[in-house]
Amino acid sequence: MSRIRPYRPADRASLYEVCVKTADAGGDAIGILSDDDLWGNLFAVPYAERHPDLAWVVESDDGRTIGYIVATDDTDTFYTWFRDEWWPALQQRYPRPVEVATREDRMVDYGYTRAPGIEPNAAEYPAHLHIDMLPETQGQGLGRQLMQTLFAELTRRGVRGLHLGIDPNNTGAAAFYERLGMTRLPAEPGGQIYGVRFDSDSSSVAT
C-alpha cells in the first residue's frame, strides 16, 4: 500500500515528474511546452525548496514518489522570495516573452509577475497549496489524507485560511475541493479559486 511521508531532498526530481504528468487539467502534459521542467519550476519545486516542512509525498510500495502536496503558509512572503531569489536564477533559461501569445508565453510570464500583493485573496486566506497525484493513487483516499495533513499543520501554526487555484477544465479537482468543504472565491476571468478558513475544529476536513 502507498503511504504518505514528509518530503525529502531526494524527492526533488520526482516532483518535476509528477507535476508534468498531471499538469494538463490533471492529465499528462509532457511535450506541451518546450521545457517540461517549467511546470515544476513554477508550481512544485520552489515550494519544497522554501517550505520543506509544508511538503509531503505519496510513496508507492516499491519506493516511487507518485504524488505530493506542497504549500506556503504566507503567500505574499513566498512570492517575495520567489521574485527575489528563485526566479532570477531561471530567467536566462526562460526569457520573458515580448508578446504573450501562447500557453508557454503565459506560463513564463506568470513566473515574472509573482510578487506580494498580486493575489487579492491572500489577505484573508494567506496560505496556498499545490497537490498532484498520478492516476495510480486514485481510490485510496490519499488526496484527502494529504489535505488533512496540511490543514492540521496550518491550523497548528495559527494560519487563518488557505486558497488555491485550479484549471477550470479540471472538473474532478473542483468536485474534490468542494467535498472537502472549500468554497469558491473571487477570481480573474478564466480562473477558478477555492478557499477554506481554519479554526480550532478544522484539523479534520469536512465530509
CATH of residue 156's domain is: 3.40.630.30
Q: Is residue 206 part of a domain?
A: no
- Residue 44, domain extent: 3-197
Q: What is the mean pLDDT of residues 123-133?
A: 96
Question: Does 167 score more than 90 pLDDT?
Answer: no
Q: What is the mean pLDDT of residues 24-45?
A: 96
Q: Is residue 160 part of a domain?
A: yes
User: Based on the number of CB atoms within 10 Å of its own CB, is 71 exposed (0-12), middle (13-18) or buried (19 or more)?
Assistant: buried
Question: Does 117 score more than 80 pLDDT?
Answer: yes
Q: What is the C-alpha to C-alpha distance for residues 71 and 53, in angstroms, rounded to an integer?
A: 9
Q: Is residue 204 part of a domain?
A: no
Q: What is the mean pLDDT of residues 44-48?
A: 98
Q: Is residue 203 part of a domain?
A: no
Task: Fill in the amino acid letter for 12.
Answer: R
Q: What is the mean pLDDT of residues 133-138?
A: 89
- What per-residue confidence (pLDDT) applies to 171? 82
Q: Is residue 207 part of a domain?
A: no
- What per-residue confidence (pLDDT) applies to 203? 43
Q: Count the domains in the chain.
A: 1
